[in-house]
Structure 1
Amino acid sequence: MKRIIAIVCILSLTCAATAQQKTAFQTSSAWTPEIDVRSDIAIVYGAGDRRGMTFGQRVQSWRDRGYQTHFMTGIAWGSYEDYFTGKWDGKNHFGIGQVERDGDTIWHGRNVPYVVPESTFIAYMKEGVVKKVIDAGISYIHLEEPEFWMRAGYGEVFKQEWQRYYGFPWRPQHTSPENTYLSSKLKYHLYYNAIKEVSEYAKAYGKQKGMDVKVYIPTHSLVNYSSWQIVSPEASLASLPSIDGYIAQVWTGTSREPTFYNGLRKERVFENAFLEYGSMISMTAPTGRKIFLLTDPIEDWPRDWGDYKRNYEATFTAKLLYPTVADYEVMPWPERIYTRPYKLPNSDSSILIPKYYSTQMQIMVNALNSMPVSENKVSGVNGIGVLMGNSMMFQRFPTHQGFEDPQFSNFYGQTLPLVKLGVPVQTVHMENLSYKATLKDIKVLVMSYSNMKPMSPDVHQHLAAWVKNGGVLIYCGRDDDPYQTVQEWWNTKGNHFKAPSEHLFRLLGINPAQPESRVGKGFVYVIRQHPKEFVMNEGGAKAYVELVRKAYEENAKAGKLLVSNSLHVSRGMYDVVAVMDESAEKEPFVVKGPVIDLFDPTLPVLASKSVEPGRQALLLNVARVKQPAVPQVLAAASRVYEEERKPGSYRFVVKSPARTVNAMRILLPSEPRETILTGPGGEKITPASVSWDVSSKTCFLQFDNSPDGIRVEISWGR
């Protein structure tokens, strides 16, 4: 009997492993009806037992509801009280925290420090966390947010790691640019090593148990970490054999970080999110790793629900404008979104998520379950890239020798002026230059060493070869920042370059005093300005944009550099549109219908949709529906199961969280004669709204949701 049960378990695990893994959410809670999101995967957070519930029971509560289960935990912090307090190995480890210059530890929460990942912590992560999770039958492990704060690096544990890594005593990072650079480089190495060791252990231990363990890294983008002055391994992990993919953690909280453009500092949530997602995708695409794109319908700080909605639409649209990716983490913490009242700014009242917003959110989330990968390109010129690298995180110290980079403007100076013109600029990671796919479609590449440095001379070998083969390179920078002289490969071991660009220019065979040079089949331009000047000064980007235009049209001979105030892409039956403000063009972007507006909880059918500057849209284009003669649910604030079609009738079951309202658009051959709704207990339900739209041949239904399922039966004709 035990053997039969074991075989059944193995078969069920095999089926789960081969099932669709397209959408996911993360939760620290056990299943409850209010948070039954109906994605493919429930990523269970934290391996600790709870009062009255073990970790295994928490996992099982989601499996019992049909979810595949993954596991997530922090790699830089977490609820590891047994480790910190000494219950695990008899030693107190609170001294492992990341320490600031004033001696304060940086805390993530009560008794939860951000850690310096030295050997005992790594051993704990392996034996105290990962082993337990694999023993529970989970083969997908997410090691979240390997983060070391730039302002940290003053604790005794870090000083010991410094001595071990560099072979000379610790130096306080605030005393020189070189010490800042060396401090950040060590932080980078420590988390690279921690991820490498823990992920290799997970693979090896899983193999011992006959399991194929996959390891993912949920992480902020390189754009955000650099902006927020955090150090993380980022792109280097994509080449580790023990890493299978990433979750791109982009949401309102990261994307609303203010940026400079045309001399004005303000929030630019859509544009920022677009660049963040782009940097994550370009980091993984050449390596073939899988990536889930995350958005959050709310954020960590209290705002009003209108703010959450507006910025959720902006970040959601930004990720859909990358049609080569169709895997998503649809939300973190559904328990926070659905069940926690939020105190509004300038108010003493706290309210739960409004019904109109939860309906809209669920319509958007369920659209992701059917969102296809598409070969369509986003509108605009797709052949312009901007080089970036992990060392962006190494020189974010506020000020050294009078040099500063306010709001990470040396990066945004290269990118924002192009995005604002409807050019979907692609970020290119120098760590991936050895992959042929990295520069395959790039016609013009912009780069600067004003905010980063090459970590290897190989970077220049790849760039020089690309230019000589026909690429057009635009180098921006004065090469006078204090990090040019840090102790690195370009000024050690027989090299005597005053700046790393000198090595690149030598390989290219050009005189950088000449603003334009032909190199083989390609061209090189040198602009002796820091890119931050393009955005921190009013009108500062004009000459830069004109040079990009010249490089693209005349040198690369890639066609006209088309500009607009919008970005648009079609993905199957969906149209994704973003229209930007701060542009010379003020016209809206118009999509001809009939289209269903998925950002409106009433799912209106429109003859056309006009998207104004500063707004975004997700539209379902009825004319592009596959198999239009087949009855089907086109959009819903629920997930559809058990579909059954017969002549003259269509029936199905829909499931979604309790205490939310469903709205549906259903494509039918003709107007319904009868619509019957049946609750999970067999009770008849009267819909709150039923209507028919002739132009789209769709029926609109609205009724309260149930995680146990509402059966819908529709008949038409005689």
Structure 2
Amino acid sequence: MRNRNEERIGFQESAPYHPDYDLQTDFVMVYGIDETMPERIQEWKAKGYIVHLMTGVAWGTYNSYLDGEVDGETHWDEAQTDRHGAMILHGKKPVIPYMVPTVSFGRFLSDRIRLAVDSGVEAIHLEEPEFWVNGGYSESFKREWQLYYKEPWCPPHASPDAQYRASKLKAFLYTRVLDRLCTEMKDYALKRYNRVLRFYVPTHSLINYTQWRIVSPQSRLIELPSVDGYIAQIWTGTSRTPNVYEGVRKERTFETAYLEYGVMQELVRGTDRRMWFLHDPIEDNPNHTWADYKQNYLKTVAASLLHPGVAHYEVAPWPRRIFKGTYKADEGQEKVGIPADYATTLLNVMHTLGNMNQDNIETEDESLQVGVFIADSAMFQRMKPEPEAPDAGKYDGTDPEAFHEDGDTELLDFSPFYGLALPLLKHGIPARPVQLDNVRRYPHYLAPYRVLLLSYEFMKPEYSDIHFALAQWVQDGGALVYVGDDSDPYHNIRAWWNGDLRSGSPNQVYHSPREHLFEQLGLKKKHQGIQYSGKGLVNWLCVHPAVCSSSKTGADQLRQSVREAVDKIYGSHESWKSKNYFKIKRGPYIIASVLEESVSEEALVIPGPVVDLFDPVLRVLQEVRLAPGEQALLYDVTAGRPQHGKVKLISASSRIENLTITDAGFQFVAKGPANLQATARLYCPAEPVSVCCMGRGEEAAAVWEWDPKSQTVLLRYEHGSENKIKVQARWSSETLKA
């Protein structure tokens, strides 16, 4: 019943069409440009999909270009290399290096992408524009440095200034290549085919790229008219990266995912750009069990649904590896295919995601809107500034054990940011990351927030006018909590606040950008604590923000500073409500997560009747009790009930089409992966007397269960080898009258 043209849900796949992973979403992103691409595109189109193309913009099978087969000139000097001269590779074999996006490389990509345009795709996704922090030593990068900065190249590890400038250049180079590619191909599609082509950038979150020490354009792409939006590539592999809270380093998948999805929602808030949230039922690391994958997948789904500003989803990358792959069983080392119950749950969730564009949103946290600033520049200072410091290595989540043995785990933690965010999240305060760079892009960007946390100890403001907007927000009644002790060595880079002519006041030198901000706020006293500015205030906690993650004392100190600011400006403790859970209602859907390491170990009780959408048999429950560490996606039976006598779908692990109601019953067509067990629960005005399935011209009885309290029926069936089946339920006229 969902219109495919809305492109609510989709997936990416490099393999040809196969009925075993025909998920029946709205669109598919055919992955990769090779000689099979046109055929793969036509196969998926023939099955009713809207077809996009996805290809890597930083890495891929580009050996023909590297070896000189394209233009007669070898290009191996355009591979990203580290300070030891080693290429930075995607995977291990074959040799696929990450690329420096030169003008020549951009020209090569445009020629390849033109083939996809000719094949008739409606949109193109240029995936993961990534430049590793420990790169910047290849000959091509040295040339780009000389052209951009008009000075000789300096090794990025030589000083904080060199590292910061190298990272800014890396972000610029990928911005340049994306702008050229998207603009050129849009022009080509419109001229040649009179088709308006769309371009999207699938990218990790700013939080993850910073934590994994990768530089990417991120928010800069919003300024490119040729880029139509993003896919937020957030999944268990990014969100299970360990962080430190109250001195304990461990995986916190739900909390990290909440922050990652939050910053991606924030990236496009107030714009016309599309954002899809990604989930992955597996991940790139193949060494976990099915039970582990499921547990962490459900955490990421719940975390994403707590951000109602986004209602479009990539439901799976690589469904072939999910539904055809083998992974460890729950017990032992034996690898097996996907458990049937997990497959059914996945399809229930995937099709439910297509209905998340709900007008009615209810939360328990409307009074206190808290934001934690993060900027693109956080990616620019992710190398220790000592020239003799060892290279921290490459971390991509696929081999965490090896990294923790050889790499710099403390640097990977990204504790300055998590020190601001986790103490609030763990007490049920819905702190969302706020994109500092957007403050100067959009008027009133900060208006929804009442409390903002800021530190310049792990990022820097790129432009001084950001402070004018921040000062105005405070003076209009906002509460700013500034955390920092001006100890970051990156305060001393060449920048507008310490004498660079771009400051507009070259005779004024500030030792840190904080000093310039406080000057705009009219703060005269140089001591920590609360100071008023206009109708608002600033509470300065003069410690490095990493301190707030290193112990319970540090976390309590951060929470106390925020609470003091809230109490002073709003005059009531009612705005601050510590709790051990998050809960939101989107139309009839209830999403909840109960926190571990929180204010209590109490369970969250949600009254029914509700349908458990994480349950493969979609049970109707009169009450749900969630313990710490558990999540739920529920359907409110009462809120969603249709008018008397109507049949309405609640949830199904199929694409449901042509639902029709007659005096004798109802029928519909269910589509999905071949032969998988599927379930559907529907409101039904009367108990059916029979349910049958029809496929290939044959009729067979279906399994069904009637729930008289909720007046719903559960149907169980298989999609069949042709990926679709007709389901028909009948009731008697006497039963219906009764």
Q: Tell me which interval the TM-score lies in, with the shorter structure as reference length.
A: over 0.9
Aligned to 1:712, the other structure's residue is in SS state strand
1:166 and 1:254 map into 2 onto residues whose CA distance is 34
| Range with greater deviation from structure 2 (217-226 or 399-408) | 399-408
Q: Could you say what secondary structure the match of 1:192 adopts?
A: helix
Secondary structure in 1 matching 2:143: helix
State whether structure 2 residue 62 is matched by structure 1 residue 80.
yes
Which of the residues 511, 519, 526 maps onto 2:533?
A: 519
Q: SS at the partner of 1:226?
A: helix
Partner of 2:642 in structure 1?
627
Report the counterpart of residue 401 of structure 2 in structure 1.
Answer: none
Q: Does 2:499 match 1:496?
A: no
Give a deviation string over 1:75-105, Cα, whole Å, max 9, x none. 1111223322322222222321110112110
Q: Secondary structure at 2:633's aligned position in 1?
A: strand
Matches within 5 A, 1:198-213: 198-209=181-192, 210-213=194-197
Q: Does 1:596 align with 2:611?
A: yes
Q: Distance in 1 between matches of 2:364 and 2:73?
A: 58
Aligned to 1:314: 299
Gap regions ≥5 residues in structure 1:
1-15
Q: Are the counterparts in 1 of residues 468 and 520 from structure 2 also a CA contact under 8 Å?
A: yes
1:717 CA displacement: 2.4
Q: 1:556 to 1:192 in 2, by over 3 A?
A: farther
- Note the alpha carbon deviations across 1:682-712, whole angstroms, 9 max, x for none: 122333x321111111112222223531111
Q: Does 1:233 align with 2:213?
A: no
Task: Tell me the SS of whatever aligns to 1:446.
Answer: strand
Give the secondary-structure state (helix, strand or coil) at the position aligned to 1:587: coil
Aligned to 2:686: 670
Deviations along 1:302-322, one digit per CA (max 9) or x if unpaired, are 200000000000000011111
* Cα separation, 2, equivalents of 1:584 and 1:691: 41
Identify the range of structure 1 (559-568 vs 259-268) with the bigger mean alpha-carbon deviation: 559-568
SS across alignment from 2:717? strand
The one-letter code of the counterpart of 2:85 is G
Q: C-alpha separation between the residues in 1 aligned to 2:415 and 2:23? A: 39
What secondary structure sits across from 2:52 in the alignment? strand
SS at match of 1:449: coil
The Cα of 1:556 is off from its aligned counterpart by 4.1
Q: 1:121 to 1:347 in 2, by over 3 A?
A: farther
The answer for the alignment partner of 1:572 in structure 2 is: 587
How far residue 449 of structure 1 moved from its aligned partner, in angstroms, is 0.5
2:486 maps to a residue whose letter is: D
Q: Aligned to 1:30, what secondary structure does the other structure show? A: coil
TM norm structure 1:
0.94
Distance 1:531 1:405 in 2: 14
Q: CA deviation at 1:232?
A: 0.4
State the AA in 2 paired with 1:647: D
Name the SS of the counterpart of 2:689 in structure 1. strand
Q: How far apart are the structure 2 equivalents of 1:242 and 1:338?
A: 36
* One-letter amino acid of the counterpart of residue 461, structure 2: P
| Partners of 1:676 and 1:712 within 8 A in 2 | yes
Tell me the residue number matched to 1:363: 348
**In the alignment, what sits opposite 1:124?**
108
Whole-Å Cα distance in 2 between the matches of residues 488 and 61 of structure 1?
53
- Could you tell me which of 471, 483, 491 is aligned with 2:478? 471
Instruction: Supply the AA of the counterpart residue of 2:155.
Output: P
Number of residues of Structure 1 aligned to a counterpart in Structure 2: 696
1:209-245 CA distance string (max 9 Å, x none) = 3111111110000000000000001011112211111
Q: Does 1:40 align with 2:26?
A: yes
- Partner secondary structure for residue 436 of structure 1: coil
Q: Does 1:141 align with 2:124?
A: yes
The reply to whether residue 442 of structure 1 matches residue 428 of structure 2 is no
When normalised by structure 2's length, the TM-score is 0.91
1:141 Cα deviation after fit: 1.1
- The 8 Å contact of residues 691 and 701 in structure 2, kept in 1 or not, is answered as no
1:29 aligns with 2:36: no
SS at match of 1:664: strand
- What CA distance in whole angstroms lies between the structure 1 residues aligned with 2:258 and 2:6? 27
In structure 2, the residue matched to 1:561 is 576
Tell me what 1:657 maps to.
673
Task: Read off the aligned partner of 2:60 and give its amino acid letter.
Answer: G
CA positional deviation for 1:516: 1.9
Q: Secondary structure at the match of 2:244?
A: strand
Change (3 A) 1:645 1:345: closer
Aligned residues of 2:647 and 2:684 also touching (Cα < 8 A): yes
Q: Summarize the Cα distance change of 1:444–1:77 in structure 2 as closer, same or farther, 3 Å threshold.
A: same
Q: Which residue in 2 is equivalent to 1:59? A: 41
Q: C-alpha separation between the residues in 2 aligned to 1:683 and 1:144?
A: 45
Query: 1:633: how far off?
Result: 2.4
Kindly, what percent of the aligned residue pairs are identical?
39
Q: Is the 8 A contact 1:245 1:289 kept in 2?
A: yes
Decide whether the 8 Å contact of 1:471 with 1:556 is kept in 2. no
Question: Given that residues 675 and 723 in structure 2 are in contact (C-alpha distance below 8 angstroms), is that contact kept between their aligned partners in structure 1?
Answer: no
Candidates 548, 555, 560, aligned match of 1:541: 555
Name the SS of the counterpart of 1:153 in structure 2. coil
**Hey, what's the Cα distance between the residues in 1 that align with 2:243 and 2:342?**
28
Which residue pairs with 1:452 in the alignment?
Answer: 459
Instruction: Check the 8 A contact 1:595/1:608 in 2, yes or no.
Output: yes
Provide the rounded CA distance (Å) in 2 between the counterparts of 1:518 and 1:221.
Answer: 34
Match of 2:396 in 1: none
Q: Deviations over 1:164-202 (max 9, x none)?
A: 111111111222111111111111111111111111112
Q: 2:338 is matched with which residue?
A: 353
Deviations along 1:418-459, one digit per CA (max 9) or x if unpaired, are 111111112211211131342111111110001001111111
Does structure 1 residue 305 correspond to structure 2 residue 290? yes
